[in-house]
Amino acid sequence: MTENKTRKFYIETYGCQMNFSDSEIVASILTAEGFQPSNSLVDTDIVLLNTCSIREHAEDRVRKRLHYFRSLKKKNPGLTIGLLGCMAERTKTALMEEEQLLDLIAGPDSYRHLPGLLEQVHSGKKAIDTILSADETYADINPVRLDSNGVSAFISIMRGCENFCSYCVVPYARGQERSRDAESVIREAKSLFIQGFREVTLLGQNVNSYHWSNGNSEVSFPKLLELVAQVNPLLRLRFATSHPKDLSLEVIRVIAAYPNICKAIHLPVQSGSNKILDKMNRKYTREEYLEKIRSVRSLIPGCAISTDIITGFCDETEEDHRQTLDLMKAAAFDYAFTFKYSERPKTIAAEKFTDNVTAEVKERRLREIITLQQELSSASNHRDLGETFEVLIEGESKRSDKQYFGRNSQNKALVFPKTNQKPGEYLNVKVKRVTSATLIGEAV
């Protein structure tokens, strides 16, 4: 084994669940080649930042972190610093020139090449590989579960996106859609269950677009949901993320039919204005979106619905903003991830539109959206008072070693006094009190 292959690596992950899944793939590839994972920046030879470009804020965080690494590199000139993921793909050589401390840049489809790229750096050369692939899915990689609680795990089922929402950089940073073969997904789910995991989340930029064929059979997303749900009734199943235009009645009916498919759907709406939705190239109207919500509420009683909202998109008026607030009330979202629009280079919006909503207006509208969502989330939690839920124990509460933490099917966090059960087991918990973010109860 060479000196290079005994070196330790440390991965920092920024952004979405897909990035955390990718970091586990990177860790698997490197450990298979003899590199050693490290849990500390102090005790490592290689630092890899797995980045996100969806929001400007995410890139800003990475750049600030790189400034910190300058001081580490001054103390340890032999430290290798690499940038992975969407930001690496989007900025490519420009970032290498701007951030002179970077030794390596690898895009999201280049992770198999990391051992060779690190060998190149070790020999004194800079290394860049950001070529996108039309077929890479890492289906044969068994991910190393980083910082795992041993209960929940991610399974990536597809990569890339072809929706081309006008504000979004993902199609350019992650390439075209390609689905992982269904058989490998099922094998991974079975393996995770045998290892003791009791919840898996199927990941993709748009999971509803999943489609795999081997010539003899075809597997759509609803069929894949069924196949994973049938692995074992004790294995909970979640998925993210759904595009509203593709959420079919078939998917909704499959969720309703299987108790171990969690009753929680993340359905990003982004705006409540048809004018803005059209400008965003979202391919649905507010009326169509609300009809999907009605279908979910009708066919899956008690299902939690979460969303993403962008405020301050190009040409958004006060009336457009009001329509977003009205849609939030009509949908009664259980929780939401909310953002101010930030222009991303090379997107359709950056090329064709003007970012003409002032920072002050964006900030005020975001506050109004957050305030309303806090009211909706509080109302949702208060409806759960006195209800009993089956909870999957994930571990100790962060605030007390005398309490357990877990989530119900609706993806709501519950805290309750410890019992004889262990993490990875289920128990029924009755809700006694609620906060804006947590249900507090006791085992029954």
Asked if CATH classification 3.40.50.1170 holds for the domain at 4-129, the reply, yes or no, is no
Which residue from 206, 203, 156, 202 is spatially nearest to 177, judged by alpha carbons?
206
CATH of 388-443, one of 2.40.50.140, 3.30.70.1710, 3.40.50.720, 3.30.70.100: 2.40.50.140
Q: How confident is the model at residue 156 (pLDDT cuts 50, 70, 90)?
A: very high
Domain spans of the chain?
Answer: 4-129, 152-382, 388-443
CA distances (Å), origin 108, targets 72, 105, 161, 201, 386: 26, 10, 13, 20, 46
Calpha distance 353→350 (Å, rounded): 6
Residue type, 291: E
Separation of CA 411 from chain center: 14
Q: What share of the chain in percent tops pLDDT 70? A: 97
3-state secondary structure of 151: coil
Residue 2 pLDDT > 80, yes or no? no
Residue 275 pLDDT > 90, yes or no? yes
Calpha distance 355→362 (Å, rounded): 11
C-beta separation of 422 from 432 below 8 A: no
C-beta separation of 444 from 429 below 8 A: yes
Which residue from 404, 392, 396, 401 is spatially nearest to 441, judged by alpha carbons?
404
Mean pLDDT to the nearest integer, 328-342: 97
Q: 152-382: what fold?
A: pyruvate-formate lyase- activating enzyme (3.80.30)
Q: Comparing 55-64, 122-131, 401-410, 425-434, which segment has the lowest mean pLDDT?
A: 55-64
Q: How confident is the model at residue 88 (pLDDT cuts 50, 70, 90)?
A: confident
Q: Of all helices (H) and strands (E), which one includes residue 349? A: helix 348-352
Residue 439 pLDDT > 60, yes or no? yes
Mean pLDDT to the nearest integer, 54-71: 82
3-state secondary structure of 92: coil
pTM of the model: 0.90
Phi-psi label, residue 386: left if phi above 0, alpha if psi -120 to 50, beta otherwise? left
Residue 263 pLDDT > 50, yes or no? yes
